[in-house]
Amino acid sequence: MGTSLARWPALAVATAALSVAAGAAGVPSAALFAALLTGVVWALAAGGEMAPPRRAVVPAQAVIGAALGSYFELEPLRELGSRWIPVAAVVVGTLGVSLLAGLAVAAATGLDRPTALLGLVAGGAAGIVVLSDELGADARMVAVMQYARVLVVVLLAPLLMAFAFGEPAGAGGEDGAGAGLAADLAYTVAAGAAGVLLARRVRVPAASLLGPLAVGAALTAGGVLDGAGVPGLVEELAFAVIGLQVGLRFTRETIRRAGRLLPVVLVAVLGMVAACAALALPLAALADVRFADAYLATTPGGIYAVLATAVGSGADTTFVTAVQVLRVLIMVLAAPPLVRVLASRRR
């Protein structure tokens, strides 16, 4: 017990150092990536099973849910006006593309359906990883597939904007004034605690994530604690806990299995990108926006990097933000029931 406890400070230091390096290199969700990688290396080198205690995991899940809920600002959605119908159709189409890609990977590799489906759900990678255990999926494989999806999209978006669409791809994001630390902490506690309690009372699946997401979305949409969200450091700590929870469960066999899956997963992700680009064609015509804007709005993943690319390339950031936020929220909320239905049909 004492030896196990002594390992956590070393893991924390290694995770923090790698997180800083990953952030400097522009890796999306740097803390989650760093903790996942640190956990994998530690598990393979040290052997033996370690896992963050549940009293750390549940708050981390709640914080991530609250962070996702803070995306749900009404102003970008109001700006859609009459364009919400084609936007909603495209978001649902993106969900369909994700599920078809997951079913294809399951059929091609023999991977179980819950893992394949969640691994390719196009939105909220951290939230999807959190949902994996409760939905009977292998969280390790889900994490590998989700990161493959996000990294492919993040690499392609600025390159296509720069070379295919002739738009300069910047690296900056929008700087908001924020609501202040006190309001951010109040929002995090309110959304996290109330969301978990409420979701458990009504027996919502994945209560620790979906409850705070729903309460956070309601607080944000209602203008309560206007502009508040989860403080950056708190969010990064939550990502780190989830990353370690998944990474420490890896084994050498898991790594070999992931390596065998990766080529098929990459092909599936590229197919998703192409299909979503095809969805951008009617969206551009029906919503009266440029194809470049529609492409960024429909890109299946990497919301922070996509929004940064939109800002740097002079795209319609309000439109891109509205569609991307809807995509993330619908994916995380719709994934649990749809995965259960598709998995049960297979059985």
pLDDT in tens, 210-231: 889 889 988 988 887 777 888 9
Whole-structure pTM value: 0.70
Q: What is the pLDDT of residue 197?
A: 92
Using the predicted structure, report yes or no on whether residue 28 has a pLDDT greater than 50.
Answer: yes
How many Cβ atoms sit within 10 Å of the Cβ of residue 316?
Answer: 18
Measure the CA–CA gap between 311 and 286, rounded to whole angstroms: 23
Using the predicted structure, report yes or no on whether residue 340 has a pLDDT greater than 70.
Answer: yes
- Mean pLDDT computed over 112-140: 84
Measure the CA–CA gap between 184 and 230, rounded to whole angstroms: 5
Using the predicted structure, report yes or no on whether residue 257 has a pLDDT greater than 50.
Answer: yes
Q: What is the pLDDT of residue 312?
A: 62
Compute the residue count for the chain: 347
301-315 as b/e: b if 16+ CB within 10 A: bbbebbbbbbbbbeb
**Can you give the CATH number for the domain in which 337 is found?**
1.20.1530
The count of domains in the chain is 1
What range does the domain containing 156 cover? 2-170+178-346
- Mean pLDDT computed over 194-207: 83
| 336, 114 Cβ separation under 8 angstroms | no
The string of DSSP codes covering 8-23 is HHHHHHHHHHHHHHHH
Measure the CA–CA gap between 111 and 261, rounded to whole angstroms: 9
Using the predicted structure, report yes or no on whether residue 55 has a pLDDT greater than 90.
Answer: no
Average pLDDT across the chain, whole number: 81
Classify 115 as helix, strand or coil: helix
64-80 as b/e: b if 16+ CB within 10 A: bbbbbbbbbbeebbeeb
pLDDT band at 268 (very low <50, low <70, confident <90, very high): very high
Measure the CA–CA gap between 155 and 160, rounded to whole angstroms: 9
